[in-house]
Chains A and B, each alone.
Chain A
């Protein structure tokens, strides 16, 4: 089950949101050694975790645990690519009402290979469902090594926005992901299911 969390319902899902920030610290700071802010020593949380962000959070029945999540930002406002990595887009940072940015895509550390892949697949389908609900036709995303093939493996249509560049010793690339109703069909077929993954109740509250 995937919760759609926005500024409107963040308080209602506070335990899941807190668990997400704790896992993000374990993944991005402890394991991947990213140089990003940590709050109270246990939460990874930066300037883009604001009221404009929409999160998809994979959770369990109790809706309090965090199994995986992704942060989606409108490109019409400051976002990671426009503020931190504009140099990875050779033709300028793509911006528009129908373009959102994917950041902090992750699965909880305790998950193993297959489980982790299932969570990530669920999130990918969730992102496509959300795109169709929000009217998003393209996602952009900054990709560090190790994420690039995972992003592409989803099976949606990707394009490079520039050549990868050395940013502080890491090869950072930028991708454009095209979304259409056919993308949803393709992904669902591949996963072998038809039902929506987003919790519609949460969307109603979020809207």
Chain B
């Protein structure tokens, strides 16, 4: 258990060390900078901003993690959430429903679009053996290099009111997610002007809980993880690996569809040309850092949000805030190195335990004849 905490801590320590070296080389005082980041990042409006940033990262991380559990690398969350965002916003503006239902419908559309787009990669892999890394990269590019722009051109808002902003029609108020400021005020916090805690936080938490229940507690999740660990053995236990590839991609894409929804249903209220990108790639890093576990991914997403929020303070100090990106990259790399080291320590420990259990047995060949055929 102690080892479980050791790896991420070690990784963050390495990342801080590397960033400090970079800062010192470029003539800055790391301690001054870190304390300024901490001071700024722990103010209430910074914490709200951190959570708002973490919400899409978290959902994105979960989407990627579903793939990882099935031994699939869905690098296409990027395209899936972007496409889902556009189409959900279009449908949302067009629908006219009572409030909770309206929001639910928009989310369902987003999930369906994400699932369908990811499903293409799933079907191609299951039926034609196309590597999902390549197909999802291509699907990303199809959205990013034209399909997105084409859809925006088709569905762009008719009454621009003189604005040059390219955007879809506004979603009516019944289709928007209320913020959670009133909850914060209820517990006695004084929310600063202009800060809004996104209501989509609740959806993110729900997705995390459902993710955990499905993967760890249901038969379907067991089948999915079994197939990811060993497709042959899973097939012998009655799990069709091809069907599971498609199902896992659909699930992953469905979750991916929700990634951008905190923007569409929150501050933006529609899909705009400056919709945030790269959330899908961030999700990969967050999923890796969080070890595909819903709590771990949550912590990783919050860390990412914190780093990005507190980096804004750096501009005032005349330090490039890109130091944070270097930190993030170093964290990802060092966390896997740290996990690898911990894994080896644990394997050695286990080996000792097992042989203590069985030292009365004859020394046996390491591989065992079962592995030879």
Q: Do A and B bind each other?
A: no
Residues of B bordering A, CB below 8 Å: none
A-to-B contact residues, CB < 8 Å: none
